[in-house]
Structure 1
Amino acid sequence: MRKQILQHENKKDKQQAKLKKVIIIIVVLSMVIFFSGLFISMFLNRNVNSEFEEYAETVTMTDKNFEQEIECLSAYLDNLTLNNMNKGYACNLLSIMYGLKNQRYENILYMCKAIYYYQKENANAAMIQMSVNLSATLISGTSYDMAESILENALDIKLTEEEETIYHIYIYTNLAESMSQRGNYDQALEAIQLAESKLEKVKQEYFKDCLLSLKISKALAYHGLGDVKESKRLLNEIDDESLKKNILHTVTFAFPYYEASSYVLLSEGKIDKAQECFEHFLEYCDKYMYTSMKLRYIDKFTKVAQLYGYEDTDFIKEYHDGLLDLYRGEITRVNDESAKILLDSYNINAENVKIQSRQRLNRLKIYGGVAVFFIILTVILVMSIEIRKKSQIDFLTGTYNRAKLRVVYRTLMKKKQEFYVIMFDIDNFKLCNDVYGHRFGDMVLERISHNITDELPRTSMFFRYGGEEFVVLCELKTKTEVIDLAERIRRCVDELAWENGTHISISVGVSSIVNTADPLKSADECLYTSKKTGKNKVTYDFEI
């Protein structure tokens, strides 16, 4: 019976079934497209990042224009699938290249960008390394306040214990360099002491550059504090040829080395050798276009010369009289330029944030649209099922309604399958409504429906035919079984107790498709016979 009913429903609701199939196909295709796109995106993302990492390993910093490398790295940066860590490394490489090309603006700009990308990735160690590099560039441009501010902020970044030891060496080394060059000698020695305490915890052969920088900064600081002998001792330990490996070494080590050496030579009265160091310093400044450092050194050198009584020396007079006014203007210009670069970097990064936020928003809109699409389809599907169910269910009793009976009955009749119809009617129900009210009448309908449902086999279907009249369609093997079921239904109602003491019974009619062309009509006639012959009984149109 249930199989027959399902066959009928599939055929009767063919249009709705097609709609469901279309919805399922759309959902499946949408999911396939969505996850395929996601998979392709992940594959391309992984592919681009792997490709960049392989390329980055081949980049070497040699004396050339770097135009091809700069173009290639810039193209990688424009690729949206490159992750933030690799973008930071690309910016790091670009900053080094522009530094070697003496393009200060781009050098600082890409260092700031690298810090920005590392910060987004929470790559604290890489972010500190770039902050140290940025501070070194600012120190070379005499932007000491900015450099020290960046380094002090870097000290607050959280690291592992091992990372903190390593990166704080670099930070304190650069702080010592900045402070010694600007004349804060006591603070420089404190920073040197902190760096040396960190160096005691690591293998010092891996920090040769830091040791060299600290030694030069210490020499400058000791000279500034009047300990010329210690300053000279430290400088004598340095091989000046090790200072000129490349432009970065020259700026970081050679400049302060020649500066400290010239001051020591002045203190010893070796004016010619001091002048030689002085001119070496200026030569490197002119070669690498470090005008601000050149002018700062001229100003400081002439002051040290005055301190030792050499202010009347011809070459000192020449530089002192001609360049001091220019120095003050140049220092202001360089600091303004550094501030402008940092501000531009902030604005560029802020614009990048806006662009990436828009991109994320657009992706969210797409994902949200897909999600809403799936939700709407699901809601439509659920609602169509619920509406269909509600259209077939009697609201009061919870049984199937007459419309559903009509559909199922017609299908069974067409199939010519053997089935039975049990029809029953509540005896004297109108009187019950008149005496006890319609609320009690509704309660009677609900309770009887609920109790009878518990008595029915799984192969049957229960319908409210109208008013107090109900129908059961069932598929049983023998006539005896259907008569027994009809009697159980009758007794189930007959044995119910009611609070107001009333007694309620039903009259039942049973028919089979084997005995009549219209078993529903025949069952109705049998029901009428039960009513006429005393009620509370079962009548059937076949012989057992």
Structure 2
Amino acid sequence: MSKIHDIKKYILITTIIVPFCILFVVVNDRLNHSQIKDIGENFLSEKISKEETDNLIKQLKKQNKQSEISFIEGAILKKENKLKEAKIKFNEVLESKNINSSYLMEVYTYVFLAEISQQEKDYENLNKFTKNAFYNINPKYYDENIDIIKKIIKLLNTTQSSRKVAIDILNKLIKSNKISNDFRLYALDRLGLLYFMNNQYSNSSEINLNYILLANDMGKQKEYAKAIVDLATIFKQLKGNETAIVAIQKALDVKIDDKVERGKFKPYAYLNLAEIYVCVNKYEDALKSVNEIQKYKGYYNEEDYRDFKILANVIKIRCYINIDKKKEAAKLIEETEKLLKEDKSWYFIDKELEFSIAKAQYYKSIGYYDSSIKEYLKALEYSKKEGNYYKEVIIIEELIDIYKAIDDSENFYKYTLQLIDLKEYMEGLRYEDYSKYIIQSTTDKKKLLDEYEFKVKAYKIVFIVSIAFSIIYYLLYKRIKNIKKLSQRDGLTNIYNRRQFNKVYKKLIYSNKKFSCIILDIDHFKSINDMHGHKTGDEVIIGVCNEIKKNLDSDCSFYRYGGEEFVIIIKNKEKKDVISLAEKVRIKVQDLTWNQGINVTISLGIAFKIDSTNNIIEIADKNLYKAKESGRNKVAY
């Protein structure tokens, strides 16, 4: 009986005491999370004083919490910019056996290490630490940790590879059923932007449409209007400028009841509208739009408004250059340089790039080509680091224009080839991206639109979503149709380029088909350039190509091999017919007359494919050398 009583007593004590102990541990652990979160956020925002940290370390020493001490000491060292020592402390935290006392301490440790990596431009570790930070947060605690997740995403804006990490994180977030609609809206907003920055326009447009629909469902007027503006920026990239203008004007008409939210949205819309007006040469409209921004200065803190001011100035500089107000442009350049020195905000991350391009355009407009080239090269380096292909194309086109103006043939051809390669690469990316979008998404999106047409009564959302689908489908269809043509052609002569030759030649060389190859070169072309200028040189290249094309049939394909060298690939012809064609082309070019009174001739080398090991382009090149050595204006085989 006594034993049974003891057992009952033991069970009673266990059922009361053990849950109490568990509750104590859980509460204590949650308090620990709360403390770590406060400490982490205070260090991230630099709102913690030395006195507070000293008191905290004393308290932790009494409790013998070495991991927490190392964590705080690392944060202090980082704040003092002693990055090497800070990394040692943070690594001590990660190696500590007591790390499980708070998952947030590990999360903030990785975030601090990521910030250090960003300062040191160590992007590999930046990507690694931000991934570790995010994946240490349990999905059920995503909503509790919105601020730290936002910080992680913000750290990943810098490079294309970093943005890919952020895209993976955001995709995981929006698929989670553990986050609130407000958090989902934030995730969609950032994801659309990052896809856009990584040149994935179809994905960006899809995410923006989902954002519009969610914002409308939630009654979020400002977010809904902003998403329409973001969609308009995609239209702009796809050369749909007029549609982009209409979309932003519709966004500006959206009724935003909250005065503060309205005040924050309007400058963003006007800034984007002004930029598009510049793209279509409507400079007065651009100036009117950009001048609207100053009305809303009071809705932003000083740092963030400075970013708006910088970009507004950039647009004004570009307008003043084009309406012949160079003095006003010069004054604004000086003012903007001062603003950038004072600037600490990252509200717009590409403001320095935009300013460099505007400054380069100004120098070019007043004939200061060396200064212009310097600024363009600076902007080009930044664009390449950011993976901003759209800006790369603009900058390289400007450089080509300058090098042509100053007769710098070496750099002219260097950047022309770079531009061809870049456009081909971009079109390849877009071809893959858009093809998948059209094939996989159009039907689904049509169903989505049909679903929302009866669910959403507001005319504007149906209008915007409808116009989004129609313009994207139309533009993508046009682009896909022209992708191969654009990527295969030489920009100056419109004949096939070297890259296309490499593809065709490689296939032919390993096939069983017989073919012949003529490689030809314009004689003394450097002298023509030196004596008459690069403009005449270009005219000679175009004229020679046009004459040769007239004499080629459907069995021949014509390629610009490089500079003044060209290749003709001939199928289904006997040797004597190929030799006869080469002689005919030589004579036709020799008989051309030129306005400058110059004589233009070509030398040609021929080779014939015998078997798959026969490298006929090499043989043709050797024969071209023989033709030149024997006096030029000859055919050798």
Q: Which range, TM-score by smaller chain? A: 0.3 to 0.5
The TM-score, its normalising length taken from structure 2, stands at 0.40
Larger radius of gyration: 1
TM-score scaled to structure 1, two decimals?
0.46
